[in-house]
Chain A
Amino acid sequence: QKEVEQDPGPLSVPEGAIVSLNCTYSNSAFQYFMWYRQYSRKGPELLMYTYSSGNKEDGRFTAQVDKSSKYISLFIRDSQPSDSATYLCAMSVDNQGGKLIFGQGTELSVKP
């Protein structure tokens, strides 16, 4: 069993839709949870970062962490074609520095 599970998709939605992306994990020691966005042939860029449980909102993006269920989500409201990319969840334990454990990534396509 992988430490972090993420449905690879692909996921295709119409422009304006609400997108829900999810990851589950098995290591209860994870404290930091991130979502990265990766455009084709580019490096990942940090979208959202959350410490421990709770919600965090940034514009059209909302990240949720439920540590009791070992489940994290990223919601994208009013999705745009420019949101088409691969979304990677990532997690780390307190003292692991930049040693992130990534999910496989979900490929999202937003159709005009």
Chain B
Amino acid sequence: NAGVMQNPRHLVRRRGQEARLRCSPMKGHSHVYWYRQLPEEGLKFMVYLQKENIIDESGMPKERFSAEFPKEGPSILRIQQVVRGDSAAYFCASSPQGSGTGELFFGEGSRLTVL
């Protein structure tokens, strides 16, 4: 009965490198959401994806960030040319359908540190 699986749990990158964060939703869930949690701040919505489609990317920074959820395999959040301000915990959540109710199941997060 696996929950939402995220990896890596911890990632260290130097400025200018790329970070790739992966998320496998709960079994039977086809909707994936990415949130970012900066120190001393609450969770901020980034993007909502279904298989092969980006539904809502209104919370994604305009540059360097991209997300995908391919037909096969996990969802990937990609950050190019990382900067120190990208250091945060990135959480993935999933739901069994487009949840108008907000009932999301979160993974344990990937903690990115940019040196």
Contact = CB atoms under 8 A, between A and B. Distances in A.
Contacts of A44: 43, 91, 106
A45 interface: yes
Contacts of B95: 98
B43 A49 contact: no
A98 B104 CA distance: 7
A9 B12 CA distance: 30
Given A42-B108, A43-B4, A98 B93 contact: yes
Given A43-B109, A95-B100, A104 B56 contact: no
B103 interface: yes
A91 B103 CA distance: 10
B22 interface: no
Contact of B56 (A34, A99, A102): A99
Interface of B: 4, 31, 33, 35, 40-45, 48, 55-56, 58-59, 91, 93, 95, 98-109
Contact of B102 (A8, A34, A41, A43): A34
B100 A99 contact: no
A36 B35 CA distance: 14
Contacts, number: 80
B109 to A, nearest CB: 5
Given A45-B106, A46-B103, A97 B42 contact: no
B42 A46 contact: no
A13 interface: no
A72 to B, nearest CB: 13
Contacts of B55: 97
B43 A97 contact: no
A105 B48 contact: no
B48 A43 contact: no
A75 interface: no
